[in-house]
Structure 1
Amino acid sequence: MSGNRLLYSECLRIYEVEETFIDSLQESGLIDIVDQDNDRFIEYDDLSELEQFIRWYYDMDINVEGIEALHHMLARVRSLQSELNELRNELQFYKSLEH
């Protein structure tokens, strides 16, 4: 391991996943694999998403294209929830001015 990164080979061993699966996630832009000093690493910050992708792929039998779609949809839902919260706060502010 190096700093805030997990060695790629350790990731494969720990999560017991196929290299082709991880590579397909990288090819689709869902995770980043860092090449440094003739080694490959995955950032610790990406591990929680990787774990979710692994569950979807192996436990729920969702292919990489489906994972991409779900990931995009969940990101959009989070964005809309954030926007909704901002609008609610703004509405509360304007309502407080009326009194």
Structure 2
Amino acid sequence: MKHRKRGGLLAIVLILAGCVFLLNQIGVLAGSWASYLVPLALVGAGYFALNSGRTLLGLAVGGLGALLLLGKLASGLIVVLIAAALIGYGLSLLKKKRSA
């Protein structure tokens, strides 16, 4: 039962991350320095999770932060492709959860 709850949460996190990528790409999320705070905070949280022995959580949170930071630094096409992949995968997770 807990596995299904985590799958739904993961799906929502992936969809939100994809939406953040897209909103940033089209300029809705403005602010030059403030937009780097969330990715850096996620990378920091992942680092602390890794140090506390929570390897999977640390890799997931730190990896998401790294992807968001990469989105800030990479070209527009890469960001759109990553966003589409995250949204698509998140939607597929939700679809599988509802059919199960």
Q: TM-score range by the shorter chain?
A: 0.3 to 0.5
The TM-score, its normalising length taken from structure 2, stands at: 0.36
TM-score (structure 1 length as normaliser):
0.36
Larger proportion of helix: 2
The structure with higher relative contact order (CA 8 Å, sep 6+) is 2
